[in-house]
Structure 1
Amino acid sequence: MTKLAPTALLLCASLAACQPPGGQEAANSAIADNGLANNGEDNMVEPRRSILRPEVVPTVEEPKIEPEEALIGFGALSLQLDDAAKAALDALVTTPAMQAGGRVALRGHSDSRGTDGDNRVASRRRAERVRDYLVEKGVAAERITLVALGETRPIAPNAKEDGSDDPEGRAKNRRVEVRVTPPPVVIPPPVPVGAPDAEKP
């Protein structure tokens, strides 16, 4: 067997290391095939929809309007609004629920002094005083409803435990509870994609 010189062995080893199995053409073919395969996978992905397309309407969430409540007292002035009551109503008029045109419910109350019928009338008059003030401030009268509850729903005792009169408790019961309910949010039905525009008048 013929022995190769060390220089010849080195040259053969170098050539073998530089040449990939199957030759350069096979390597190039493998790279090209791999690229095509990747492109094929990319082509399988659904293209993203552009937000600029006319049929895509971005949704903007309106801030939620919360109901508003106020307690209007008729302590010292049994059937008249005092300065504190007017200030509370002035603040209520500026709230988002009131500005949005919400419904206004007024529930009038009284203490237990007098007959049930008289107390119901007095509670209605208190609610009417609040209504009239709100109307003066620009609230439409048709938005307002009144309920006269008389002495049926006290929030404080009208008498002390020993049976004696409780003027402070009775004063707290002479009140009007105000609740403003925001109008319902009307969401228009979605327009089908590709539907023709509505005819203009």
Structure 2
Amino acid sequence: MKSIVITRSAVPAPSIAAKPVLRGLAGATLLLALAACERQDAPPEPTQSEAAPQPTSIMRDDLDESVLPTPQPQLAPLDARISFSDGGAELSESATAELASILRSPQIAEGGAILLRGHSDSGGSGEANMRASRRRGEAVRDYLVENGVEAERVTIIAFGEQNPLQPNARPDGTPNEPGRAANRRVDLHVALPDEDETQEEASVPASDAEPAADPGESPRESG
């Protein structure tokens, strides 16, 4: 009987030098596997079309500014000054031209109250100057009423020589004619209907409605 002999080939054991290489390959393989898992678990990056929509401005660039309403300036009360010649209460051509312009103003059209403050220079007695200043206010009022302004809208206050714009006399005591001319005036104020303004009515005795010049007093002596 034949005997069978089994011969085993010896497998050479890995050398000591090859072990670090194997460990490095194993580590690299593990890292690649972990990275693959992370890529599978992470959500996909949004594409450009899937990105969050950008905010859209509600302002129209193509809006035509020419069709926008133009803001209107706010209407203000009207103030004007009417000058008079020496000792008189007659309206000059320049005064009537100024009043005609005032009558065309939007303030007059609004229908507000009209206040006339009459003034004089200091030439003459105080009583004469007070009457002269009132006559000037009445002259302006009459022109306005004759041209369509309701008389009840107008109030006259006579100040006489009390509120000069400029000195009536120079430092040496001589008359300051340019200053006196500036003081002979009526200050006109047209209020707006909604203006909160109280207008004081002038209280003048009936005798003051008579001619302004005192007996023996020349017109040039009254302001």
Question: What amino acid maps onto 1:112 in structure 2?
Answer: S
| Structure 2 counterpart of 1:45 | none
Kept after mapping to 1: 8 A contact 2:118/2:136? yes
Residue among 143, 160, 171 paired with 2:153 = 143
Tell whether 2:199 aligns with 1:178: no
Question: What amino acid maps onto 2:141 in structure 1?
Answer: R
| Structure 2 counterpart of 1:105 | 115
Q: CA deviation at 1:166?
A: 2.4
Residue among 135, 141, 144 paired with 1:131 = 141
Q: CA deviation at 1:143?
A: 0.7
Kept after mapping to 1: 8 A contact 2:86/2:184? no
Tell whether 2:173 aligns with 1:163: yes
Cα distance in structure 2, aligned partners of 1:162 and 1:143: 44
Tell me the SS of whatever aligns to 1:153.
coil
Please identify, of 97-106 and 157-166, the stretch whose mean Cα deviation from structure 2 is larger. 157-166
Cα distance in structure 2, aligned partners of 1:19 and 1:67: 80
Question: What amino acid maps onto 1:149 in structure 2?
Answer: F
1:116–1:19: structure 2 CA closer, same or farther, 3 Å change rule? same
Kept after mapping to 2: 8 A contact 1:73/1:172? yes
Q: 1:127-172: CA deviations, max 9, x gaps?
A: 0000011112211111110000001111122222211222222221
Cα distance in structure 2, aligned partners of 1:154 and 1:13: 102
Kept after mapping to 2: 8 A contact 1:119/1:150? yes
1:79–1:147: structure 2 CA closer, same or farther, 3 Å change rule? same
Q: 1:84-115: CA deviations, max 9, x gaps?
A: 11111112222222211111100000111111
Kept after mapping to 1: 8 A contact 2:121/2:184? yes
| Structure 2 counterpart of 1:87 | 97
Question: What amino acid maps onto 1:143 in structure 2?
Answer: R
- 5+ residue gaps, structure 1: 1-11, 22-26, 28-60, 186-201
Q: CA deviation at 1:63?
A: 5.0
| Structure 1 counterpart of 2:217 | none
Kept after mapping to 2: 8 A contact 1:110/1:122? yes
Percent of residue pairs identical: 43
Residue among 82, 86, 104 paired with 1:72 = 82
Q: Give aligned pairs, total.
A: 146
Question: What amino acid maps onto 1:104 in structure 2?
Answer: I
1:17–1:156: structure 2 CA closer, same or farther, 3 Å change rule? closer
Cα distance in structure 2, aligned partners of 1:83 and 1:177: 17
Kept after mapping to 2: 8 A contact 1:75/1:172? no
Question: What amino acid maps onto 1:109 in structure 2?
Answer: H
* Superposition CA RMSD, Å: 3.1
- 5+ residue gaps, structure 2: 1-32, 44-70, 196-223
Tell me the SS of whatever aligns to 1:147.
strand
Tell me the SS of whatever aligns to 1:177.
strand
Question: What amino acid maps onto 1:132 in structure 2?
Answer: D
Q: 1:61-102: CA deviations, max 9, x gaps?
A: 975220110010002572111111111111222222221111
Cα distance in structure 2, aligned partners of 1:150 and 1:18: 101
